[in-house]
């Protein structure tokens, strides 16, 4: 069971005073699985896992019925099946989740322009400026939950607090399908009984170091002398964690954080040394990355490939283009070149990936046509595919070389 699942429920007598608590953290409940259950309501109440069914796939999402068996995201599918042999496994549909995510984020924007998405299924909102129009923070949180359920058929949990850090912890304690307020005057009462692993920045290694000091709860850490923490963890980390332990988090909600890169990876069920199959996967990944670039209104200048050998050693190769692009065929051509010069064309691989960096707004990026290139071509064809995908699903229109049985890998 994960550390998050082991965290105890907070005291129930904190109260619901949301004065000075303008920060909301909204987190969809078992997002991918919940989206799938909209189309398969007969599975409601059953343990459902979203992920590639192959032995080397990983869990992307699991319903709370599956989580009761210890299943959690990022777990190898083979272990998840052992823990919950009756689970229904559904292959992922990333285009569908992206569409729902965009719509949910747009819904948040109707409450406040101060929306900071931090993943496809969660965001921070600052509702300080929405009070006169919509009411108190807890009331706004309740309205958001009602609209997400009514308009999208899924549930979300909302934490209401005075800071981002505490709001995120509060939403975790509200799960599933709940709302939890941490009054500004009760932040320390809320934090100090929690295990020290609840703090942002405390991974397994840091937690082991703290446990060696006898620091087991957030309260223990708050009462540990600063010099002891800084000696054990380093000056910056020790000071930062002590601030969090006292509920001090000055970070503001930052709307419209631009994507720094967009990528996709594929892990194969069995290691592959066939260059034809590797290039076919590079095409599939280039198609997916290009579609995400266009969805986000981006073009990119730097293309990289990630190649992981059977022994888990990984190499990356990249190239910066003269002109930024959002065209899959252009990404694919570069990815194939990088694969060719990697020296791994006859090497067994377990994972390949394609990523685009140095992103720019699509509308503001000038592009020079290559000699003989028409203004319409691959770009126009791929935009037509985007329109078809929005209507019929991402797999409805594919390049001929990708029309084949389902992939033998899992997208991460």
Annotation: binding site for Mg(2+): 27, 121
Is 122 considered catalytic here?
A: yes
Tokens describing residue 311 = 């022994």
Measured at the CA of 156, the angle between CA 152 and CA 158, to 5 degrees, comes to 140
Cβ atoms within 10 Å of 135's Cβ, excluding its own: 13
Among residues 65, 114, 122, 330, the one annotated as catalytic is 122
End-to-end Cα, the chain, rounded Å: 21
| Inter-residue contact 89 to 49 (CB < 8 Å) | yes
Q: Binding site membership: which residues?
A: 27, 121
Distance in angstroms (rounded) separating the CA atoms of residues 290 and 286: 6
Contacts with 7 (C-beta within 8 Å, 6 or more apart), sequence order: 172, 173, 194, 195, 197, 198
Distance in angstroms (rounded) separating the CA atoms of residues 87 and 77: 11
Distance in angstroms (rounded) separating the CA atoms of residues 58 and 235: 37
List 351's β-bridge partners, or say none. Answer: 267, 308
Q: What single DSSP character describes residue 301?
A: E
Where b means 16+ CB within 10 Å and e means fewer, 84-100 reads beebbbbbbbbbbbbbb
**Peptide bond preceding 176: is omega within 30 degrees of 0, i.e. cis?**
yes
Distance in angstroms (rounded) separating the CA atoms of residues 211 and 217: 9
**Helix or strand or coil: residue 350?**
strand
**Which run of H or E residues covers position 279?**
helix 275-296
Query: Counting every residue, how long is the chain?
Result: 412
| Inter-residue contact 198 to 169 (CB < 8 Å) | yes
Catalytic residues: 122
């Amino acid at each position: 069971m994960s550390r998050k699942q082991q965290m105890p429920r907070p005291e129930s007598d904190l109260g619901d005073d949301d004065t000075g608590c303008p920060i909301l953290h909204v987190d969809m409940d078992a997002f991918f699985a919940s989206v799938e259950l909209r189309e398969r309501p007969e599975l409601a109440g059953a343990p459902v896992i979203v992920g590639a069914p192959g032995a080397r796939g990983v869990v992307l999402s699991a319903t709370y019925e599956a989580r009761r068996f210890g299943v959690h995201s990022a777990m190898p599918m083979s272990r998840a099946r052992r823990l919950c042999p009756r689970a229904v496994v559904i292959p992922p549909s990333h285009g569908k989740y992206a569409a729902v995510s965009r719509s949910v984020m747009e819904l948040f924007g109707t409450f406040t322009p101060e929306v900071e998405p931090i993943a496809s299924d969660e965001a921070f909102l600052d509702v300080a400026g929405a009070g006169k129009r919509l009411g108190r923070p807890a009331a706004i949180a309740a309205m958001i939950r009602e609209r997400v359920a009514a308009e999208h058929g899924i549930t979300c949990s909302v934490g209401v607090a005075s800071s981002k850090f505490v709001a995120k912890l509060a939403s975790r304690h509200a799960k599933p399908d709940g709302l939890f307020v941490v009054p500004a005057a009760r932040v320390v009462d809320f934090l100090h009984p929690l295990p020290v692993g609840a703090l942002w920045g405390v991974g397994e290694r840091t937690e082991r170091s703290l446990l060696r000091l006898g620091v087991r709860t957030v309260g223990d850490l708050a009462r540990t002398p600063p010099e002891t923490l800084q000696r054990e963890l380093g000056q910056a980390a020790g000071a930062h964690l002590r601030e969090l332990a006292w509920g001090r988090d000055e970070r503001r909600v930052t709307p419209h954080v631009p994507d720094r890169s967009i990528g996709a990876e594929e892990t194969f069920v069995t290691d592959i040394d066939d260059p034809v199959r590797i290039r076919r996967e590079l095409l599939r990944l280039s198609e997916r990355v290009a579609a995400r670039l266009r969805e986000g209104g981006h073009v990119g200048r730097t293309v990289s490939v990630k190649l992981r050998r059977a022994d888990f050693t990984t190499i990356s190769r990249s190239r910066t283009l003269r002109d930024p692009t959002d065209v899959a065929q252009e990404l694919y051509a570069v990815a194939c070149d990088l694969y060719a010069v990697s020296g791994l064309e006859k090497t067994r691989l377990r994972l390949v990936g394609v990523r685009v960096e140095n992103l720019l707004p699509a509308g503001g990026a000038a592009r020079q046509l290559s000699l003989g290139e028409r203004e319409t071509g691959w770009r126009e064809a791929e935009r037509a595919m985007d329109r078809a995908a929005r209507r019929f699903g991402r797999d409805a229109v594919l390049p001929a070389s990708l029309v084949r049985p389902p992939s033998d890998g899992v997208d991460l």
